[in-house]
Structure formats: C-alpha cells, structure tokens
Amino acid sequence: MSESTKSFNQLGLSEHLLATLSELNFTAPTSVQEQAIPLVLEGKDVLAGAQTGTGKTAAFGLPIIQRLIETKDNVIPNPKLVRALVLVPTRELAQQVFDNLTSYAKGTDIKVVVAYGGVSMKVQTDNLRGGADILVATPGRLIDHMFTRNIMLSQTEVLVLDEADRMLDMGFMPDIKRILSRMNEVRQTLFFSATFDNKIKAIAHRMMQKPSEIQVTPKNSTAETVTQMVYPVDKSRKSELLAYLIGSKNWQQVLVFTKTKQGTDALVKELKLDGIKAASINGDKSQGARQKALDDFKSGKVRALIATDVAARGIDIQQLEQVVNYDMPFKAEDYVHRIGRTGRAGN
C-alpha cells in the first residue's frame, strides 16, 4: 500500500469530514483514496482495481457521505428509501464496512444500516424503518428485505459493489441482476475489485456509464507491505511445522487458510494437541459461532484462527502480522485476497 503525496484537504472533502479523519488518526490518503475521492465527489462512475487492505472503504465512503449531506434537502422523504447501497459478498465484510462508514459519518445526520443473513430479520427491519441514507448488505439478505417490502431502491442514488470479483466467484450474479432490475438506471455506480479479468470488466461496463478507471496496483498483484516466505515441507508434517513456527517465533496472532471446511476443524485439533489455542471459522458454522471465534482471536484468547477463503472474507484485524497459506489456493486472485489480511492500510 502506497501513500499519496497529497493530503486529504486537497481532495475536496468538507471541513467536518477532515476533522473526523483527524480524530480517526488518518494521516495521508492512500493511492486509491487520492484517485477515487475526487471522482466520486464529481458524481462519476468509477471502476477501481484495488486490493484488500488499500483503504477502499474510505475511498468510496467519505465522498458518498459528503454528497448525501449536500443533497439531502433535495430528497423527497420516503420511509423506505435507500439513498446509497453498498453490496458486499459476506457477513463479516458487511459488518466491517458498516463499522467504518458509521465512524466516518459520526456527527452527521447520515443514517447507516447493515443487513446480512444468519441473524434475525426483525432487528434489521426495525433499523430500516424510516429508510436509510446508506445500506450495507449482502445480496441474499437484501433480496429478503426487497421481498418483504422493507426497502425501496427505485430512487437509490449510488450503488457500490465492493469486492465485486468475490461476489461473482461466489455465484451472486443472478441476485445482483435481480437487485439492479429494481433500481433506477440514472445512478452513480462504483465497482471495486481486487482482481480483474475480461469477464469482470465486461459485467462492470454493462452496469456503468462511461466509468473512470483506476488501477492502483499491478493487475492481480500482492500488496507492497507484505513480506512473503516459503517453507518446503512434506504434507504429513505441515501441522507439525505450523505448530513449531507459532511456538518458536512466538506468533501471538496468526490467520491460517485451508482449502476445506473439514480441514479447518482438523487443524484446530492438531494445534490444540501441541498446546496452541486455536479456533476455526467456516461456512458450516453459525454466525454466532463464527463471531465468537473471531472475537476470541481479536482479544488474544486464541493464537491461531483457521479459516476457509469464503469464511475469512471481510475479516479486519488491526496489526495482524502473520497469514499462513496452509493449503495453497487454486486461483492467484485468492492468494491476493488472503495475504491482504496483513499489510492493511488501517483505514
């Protein structure tokens, strides 16, 4: 992640948002923030290639909040109106983006709501009552709220697809098309993806009007701030080596990726036998169990969190220093996403 030569006060942000950024200890904008913020403030569609950990949420969140504040007096009140919609692939990422946007909107009257599966609809329905300035949602749960008429998207002004490549990989395209069918074509669309191929670009261009393209890093590359190492080892001794590395190097917080759900639980058992506290998250676990494992990892109750790619999407842990690819992913872009858990922009 490279910082900009500019400062935030050169990007067109309001004095209030600049003060908020100062309170949040934001120093200089990252490359994606420097390039995207002025474009979003101008109302342009943006197609951005930016890895996990480059500060994407602030790149779209800050200018969206400012534009919503500036145009709020022009909006016809509607109790089900969603003014800006942010679509993300997973529950964990939805919560992370919601938390960040809420911190950016502090001290304003911008209402931010989050909606994802695995938890009660009732609380979300109550939160959506009266509409939302910004709704962060996973596609499936958003459709649930559309079906129950809790929200209206026909006047939505901004659509953001965050980690769009992962949403397409996870088979959300039919859901996204269904959501788009309920939206006004006259809108601003922002498309953020860590990786790009011709298919993703073609889909993006069908959704957008003459988008401004941003590529802040080489295509499908890994973040500059990550040091990568390889340890050759026989398959039968991988868990032994992992336990040795955690112990000998005194790693206190390490995120470990495996290929399968079964592999996460099996590795937890192996590490526990070696005296290392570990927990796992995978798609078979309930949202409550996943959240507890993540909370225990963040608080230091467990040293190793074992995860599958899908389950780990959106995990945001400040100062995470070690990521281990216990099993290598099939796709290069999955590797980019995995190691992007460390070397984060922090904002």
Tens digit of pLDDT for each residue in 223-238? 555 678 888 888 888 8
Torsions phi, psi of 68, nearest 5? -65, -40
- Specify the pLDDT at position 225: 57
Q: Are 188 and 157 in contact (CB under 8 A)?
A: yes
Confidence of residue 347 (pLDDT cuts 50, 70, 90): very low
pLDDT beyond 60 at 219: no
How many helices (H) and strands (E) are present in the chain, helices listed first? 14, 11
**Ramachandran region of residue 55, left (φ > 0), alpha (ψ -120 to 50) or beta?**
left
Confidence of residue 268 (pLDDT cuts 50, 70, 90): very high
Confidence of residue 272 (pLDDT cuts 50, 70, 90): very high
pLDDT beyond 60 at 341: no
Across the beta sheet with 46-49, the strand order is: 112-115, 132-137, 82-87, 158-161, 188-193, 46-49, 212-215
In CATH terms, are 8-215 and 235-339 the same topology? yes
- Specify the pLDDT at position 65: 98
Tell me the C-alpha distance between 226 and 70, whole Å. Answer: 39
Tell me the C-alpha distance between 46 and 139, whole Å. Answer: 20
Give residue-wise pLDDT tens across range 170-189: 788 899 999 999 998 899 99
The stretch 265-277 carries a mean pLDDT of 92
Give residue-wise pLDDT tens across range 89-122: 888 889 999 999 999 999 999 999 999 988 889 9
Q: Which residues contact 292 (CB under 8 A, 6 or more apart)?
A: 279
pLDDT beyond 60 at 55: yes
CATH class of residue range 235-339: alpha beta
Strand partners, 53: none
- Specify the pLDDT at position 345: 45
The stretch 4-27 carries a mean pLDDT of 91
- Specify the pLDDT at position 310: 67
- Specify the pLDDT at position 169: 74
Residue scoring higher pLDDT (100 or 165): 100
pLDDT beyond 90 at 317: no
- Specify the pLDDT at position 223: 52
Tell me what the pLDDT averaged over the chain comes to: 87
pLDDT beyond 90 at 54: no
- Specify the pLDDT at position 142: 97
* The listed CATH number (1.10.3720.10, 3.30.1060.10, 3.40.50.300, 1.10.1670.10) that belongs to domain 8-215: 3.40.50.300
pLDDT beyond 50 at 346: no
Confidence of residue 220 (pLDDT cuts 50, 70, 90): very low
Q: Is the pTM of this model over 0.85?
A: no
Q: Domain extents for the chain?
A: 8-215, 235-339
Residue scoring higher pLDDT (336 or 156): 156
- Specify the pLDDT at position 282: 83
pLDDT beyond 90 at 151: yes
- Specify the pLDDT at position 93: 87
The stretch 8-23 carries a mean pLDDT of 95
Torsions phi, psi of 30, nearest 5? -75, 175
Strand partners, 305: 255, 279
- Residue 313: both structure tokens together: 């999407």
Q: Which residues contact 207 (CB under 8 A, 6 or more apart)?
A: 159, 161, 180, 189, 191
